[in-house]
Amino acid sequence: MLNNRRFYIGGFVVSLFLAGVVSFYASSSPDGLEKVAEDIGFIETAKENTNADVLLSDYGTKGVDNERASVGIAGVIGVIGTAVVAGVAFKLIARKPRMVKN
Partner 1 sequence: MHIPDGFLDVQTSVIFTGLSAAGVAVALKGARSQLDEKTAPLAGLTAVFIFAVQMLNFPVAAGTSGHLIGGALAAILVGPWAATLALTIVLLMQAFLFADGGLTALGASTFNMAIVGVWAGYGTFLLIRKILPKKKTSIPVAAAIGGFISVPMAAISFTVQYAVGATATYSTTTVLGAMVGTHILIGIGEGLITGLTVSAVLASRSDLVYGWKNNTQKLEIRNA
Site for partner 1, rule CB under 8 A: 1-2, 4, 7-8, 10-12, 14-16, 18-19, 22-23, 26-33, 35-37, 39-42, 44-52, 54, 56-59, 71, 74-75, 77-79, 81-83, 85-87, 89-91, 93-94, 96, 99
Nearer to partner 1, 68 or 83 (CB): 83
Nearer to partner 1, 40 or 65 (CB): 40
Specify whether the CB–CB gap between 62 and 55 falls below 8 A: yes
Cβ neighbour number for residue 60 with a 10 Å cutoff: 16
Report helix angle 67-94 to 4-20, nearest 10. Answer: 140
Nearer to partner 1, 18 or 66 (CB): 18
Specify whether the CB–CB gap between 15 and 79 falls below 8 A: yes
